[in-house]
Amino acid sequence: MKKMMCGFMLGALAAAGSADAQMLLHDGPLVGPVRPAMARAEIEAGLKSHDKALYIKEGWIRDPYIVMGPDDQYYLTGTTINPDDPREETDPYNPGLGNQSAVGSVVQIWRSPDLIDWEYLGTPFTLEDSFHKKPGNVIWAPEVHWIEEMNRWALVHCPKGKANLALSAGTDIKGPWTHPMGKNLGGRHDPSLFKDGDTYWLLWGNTEVAPLNKDFTAYTANPKRIDPAGSRVNSKGEKKSVIGHEGATVRKIGNKYVHFGTAWSTDMGRQGSYNLYYCTSDSIDGTYGPRKFAGRFLGHGTPFQTRDGKWWCTAFYNANVLPLEVEGIQERDLSETAQTINHRGTTIVPLEVKIQDDGDIYIRAKDPAYAAPGPDEVQKF
């Protein structure tokens, strides 16, 4: 099968569940129609109803990260293509992997008062701002965190061998950047920050955690792995006792620490749907309970709250074929290759988050297309 095909033909094949579409690998541009983001009225209604996924922003992005800033506005960043890269148009569904990866060398930032209108803040961090003398040529999974005690922003990113923890010069997300940890940061895949009381923790991989001192110049304890209780076995007979392989995040909800992680539904690379899972503990580095399912197609998503306290999770396109149609997706086995219903850009999906009578936490996507594990899910929930 010829790999580069008319986008509309591919879209029809993927929507129909064609084996040809499912087996398409990215050794040439994966071209297809790109949907515009939802209209303002539809997003406004969805933010109120909190019952369906909202496609809020178009544009090539992976690992979208949304956080509320000190100015009461939402900030968005993620793995992006460089602003002047023509592949934004010619290769819109580039998965960001392999020799033809479109992943860029800058951090792009957008700001919004309402998750609808986005102001572009440019590229405040590039590889020229890296601590490393040889910084590589890509920036993956950047996050920005407002550090109230320092009155400045922290920025973290990978890939592992070129990871940075940088501090802004002041209250705006811009340089000149400083690197308080320097080489002591170490190689960190998908680094993230979490504040617990007066202490900030760095977490990375899937998952190790370590506390930082007050000026972010050193760890104050050795890293510790946090894994869910129990294990599972994939179709190759491989035993898995971890929450996933990347995209780790921690949130505190009620009195519980919620450890989120990302994995493919089949527990095999780029086969099935890219999902979000969680487990809970009484302390960030303590013993965690069993692995639970948060949402299908939510891998490397960021759980966040809007001003009204509602929980959402970011979602994005991560697949080897064009986005699938939503109809009937709950019954479809996607194990043949990487597949998703997310379109290119940033989607947010409503989460039901409940503190149960025993104090444990229940989390599940509310949109039916994201809410249930598919037939390809290796773990039974």
- Contact yes or no for 144/77 (Cβ under 8 A): yes
Interval 312-326: pLDDT, tens: 999 999 999 999 999
Interval 16-53: pLDDT, tens: 333 333 334 446 788 888 999 999 999 999 999 999 99
Report the SS3 class of residue 9.
helix
Q: Which residues pair with 152 in a beta bridge?
A: 147
Could you confirm whether domain 7-371 is CATH 3.40.50.720? no
Can you give 68-122 as a three-state secondary structure string?
ECCCCCEEEEEEECCCCCCHHHHCCCCCCCCCCCCCCCEECCEEECCCCCCEECC
Q: Which amino acid does the sequence have at 11?
A: G
Reading phi first (left if > 0) and then psi (alpha if -120 to 50, else beta), residue 50 is in left
Work out the average pLDDT over 184-207: 97
The least confident of 9-23, 213-227, 250-264, 343-357 is: 9-23
Q: Residue 4 carries which DSSP code?
A: S
Identify which of 306, 301, 317 has the alpha carbon closest to the alpha carbon of residue 365: 301
**What's the pTM?**
0.93
Task: Please enumerate in sequence order all residues whose Cβ is within 8 A of that of 310, keeping only pairs 6 or more positions apart, or say none.
Answer: 47, 50, 350
Residue 279: pLDDT band (50, 70, 90) is very high
Structure tokens at 159: 């890939």
d(CA 365, CA 119): 28
Give me the pLDDT at residue 23, please. Answer: 37
Angle ∠(23,299,359) on CA atoms, nearest 5: 145
Give me the pLDDT at residue 4, please. Answer: 34
Q: Residue 39 carries which DSSP code?
A: P
Mean pLDDT score of the chain, rounded to an integer? 93
Where do the structural domains in the chain lie, given as residue ranges?
7-371
End-to-end CA, the chain: 37
Cα dihedral: 351, 250, 150, 138 (round 10) = -90
Identify which of 237, 223, 220, 290 has the alpha carbon closest to the alpha carbon of residue 261: 290
Work out the average pLDDT over 204-218: 97
d(CA 128, CA 257): 36
